[in-house]
Amino acid sequence: MSHHAIHGRIARGLLLAGLVAGSTALTSTAFAGSCPADKMKANVREAVTLPASGVTDTVIASIDVAKEPAKINDRQFRLRKLTIQPGGIVPWHSHGDRPAIIYIIEGEIHEYASNCAAPIVHGPGDVTTETSGVSHWWKNLGDKPVVLLSADLLKDKMDKHM
């Protein structure tokens, strides 16, 4: 076997190993911050009436999806940046009519979900989906602000829930 062929095989092997390692890291990040299987139960947590505090909610962009090929009437696809200060609370809310995807940029935040008997801790790089079966609230128990991005499909433009 020639010198170039050996180096080519080594390079391909290293590339494959890197791709496997990278995809494993991405997979573990995507599933981090989820409810442990033995703690999942429907309606295990009751609603709380804590008000929003220490939260800045900024709409970065939105699209009226009725005007797009999807033709989803009465919906806004929006992207928001939320900053939750230490001790800050995102109040109890439902996703029965507003699915969302959350990406944690920085900080660590605790989620208290209706379908999980334990608090769920989310950190930088975590992604979580919020669907019709979820009601929850969040609290920053750390000493640094939490910054996250939220993409949701909002129906009621007057909905002030975070």
**Could you tell me the two tokens for 104?**
């944690």
Instruction: Give φ, ψ of 134 to 5 degrees.
Output: -120, 130
Digit-by-digit pLDDT tens for the chain (162 residues) are: 555 555 455 544 444 444 444 444 443 333 457 888 999 888 888 888 999 999 999 999 999 999 999 888 888 899 999 999 999 999 998 888 888 999 999 999 999 999 999 999 999 999 998 888 889 999 999 999 999 999 999 886 665 555
In degrees, rounded to 5, the angle at the alpha carbon of residue 84 between the alpha carbons of residues 51 and 34 is: 95
Give me the domains of the chain, ranges plus CATH numbers. 37-154 (2.60.120.10)
Model pTM above 0.85: no
148 residue type, one letter: L
